[in-house]
Structure 1
Amino acid sequence: MTTISRMTARIALTGMVIATGFAAQAATGEGEVKEGKMRHDRPSFSTIDKDDNGAMTREEMAAHARVRFDKVDTNGDGMLSAEEVGQSVRKRAEKRAKKMIKRHDTNSDGMVSFEEMSKGRSEGRGAKMFDWADADGNGSISEEEFAEMAKHGKRGKHKKQKSGE
């Protein structure tokens, strides 16, 4: 499989997950919002536990998934078209873009300059990511550290493994 084919498959899969899952749920206004984070909204336990018995069943999870699916299925034909999925993904992307602008727009002009974006990256998550990847703490990322970062992802344990913890 070529790189472009893999990337296309990932984009399509991501779109389907968002469309059938969290994008529709977010449109309903239900769920727990993670303030300041670019993460999917998650439905609360009580949103899924419809009978309020303190236990979530497979049937309740399936019913919740059906509600989310039906929200994306705007023409009600029981099928998701590329247009419906795309519309749902676009709504989610617009919502995320607005949050990103709000978070980085330090001069409140409704837009983000490179300087505003860079400041956020140098002081926030970008700085934390760099520090995490710089496993030996020398202020730079070697090719080996870069490979480890890619191998373990952002939540990997390569620092702990290197320090022997």
Structure 2
Amino acid sequence: MKPNKAVAVIVAVSIAAAGTSALAFGKMRGEGERGSRGEMRFEQLDTDKDGKLSRAELEAGPAARFASTDANKDGKLTADEVTVDGQKRAEKRFGKMLERHDADKDGALSLEELKGGERHAQMFDKLDADKDGFLSKDEMRKMRKMGKRHDHGKKAD
């Protein structure tokens, strides 16, 4: 094999391996089964419910996610399988968005519904501590801290 072809093969294999690892890691982080920041919840990983995670429990997460995406069960992921899986997750996420934001219940989201209207204006006013009509870096940091304390509108413990 010529050196250029060898390098191309190594790069292609590396990209494929990285993509599979990224998919497995993303799946382990809990696409569709999220904690407050997208991570798979401790309770989901702790399959024997003993209050602690073993190495086997941590390693089982990505394997289970890989298996659920591998529709034809051949031990390999194709672009079609990943696309179908991603489409299912996107539909589920959009369904949740509709539940939260579709004020007129027409099954679609307008820009106004997505913007949050009065709720966002109130949040801006609350964060604008110095009332100058702008959010500073410090005020934005406060917003991020508030977001970490909330999980879908509920205060975290």
Report the TM-score range of the alignment, normalised by the length of the smaller protein.
Answer: 0.5 to 0.7
Does residue 42 (structure 1) correspond to residue 40 (structure 2)? The answer is yes
RMSD: 3.7
Partner of 2:101: 104
Q: CA deviation at 1:85?
A: 1.6
Q: 1:19 to 1:50 in 2, by over 3 A?
A: closer
Q: Which residue of 1 aligns with 2:30?
A: 22
Q: 2:119 aligns with which of 123, 134, 154?
A: 123
Shift of 1:135: 6.1
- 1:64 Cα deviation from its structure 2 partner: 2.6
**Structure 2, unpaired ranges of 5+:** 1-18, 147-157
Q: For residue 133 of structure 2, what is the amino acid of its counterpart?
A: G
Count of residue pairs the alignment pairs up: 126
Q: Is the 8 A contact 1:48 1:60 kept in 2?
A: yes
The AA in structure 2 aligned to 1:74 is A
Closer, same or farther: CA 115–55 of 1 in aligned 2, 3 Å: closer
CA contact (8 A) 2:102 2:108 kept: yes
Which runs of no fewer than 5 residues in structure 1 stay unpaired?
Answer: 1-11, 158-165
Relative to structure 1, is the Cα distance of residues 51 and 140 closer, same or farther in structure 2, using a 3 angstrom cutoff?
Answer: closer
* Corresponding residue for residue 51 of structure 1: 48
**Partners of 1:129 and 1:78 in 2: how far apart?**
49
Q: Deviations over 1:124-148 (max 9, x none)?
A: 4x7536754x46431224xxx37x9
**What displacement does 1:156 show?**
6.2
| SS of equivalent to 1:22 | coil
What amino acid maps onto 2:131 in structure 1?
G
How far does residue 92 in structure 1 lie from its aligned partner after superposition? 1.0
CA offset digits 1:71-100 (Å, max 9, x no partner): 011121222222222211111111111211
Larger Cα-atom Rg: 2
1:84-95 map, 5 Å: 84-95=81-92
CA distance in 2, matches of 1:90, 1:112: 18
Aligned ranges for residues 76-91 of structure 1 at < 5 Å? 76-91=73-88
Percent identical across equivalent pairs?
A: 33
Structure 2: how far apart are the matches of 1:64 and 1:92? 17
TM-score, structure 1 as length reference: 0.55
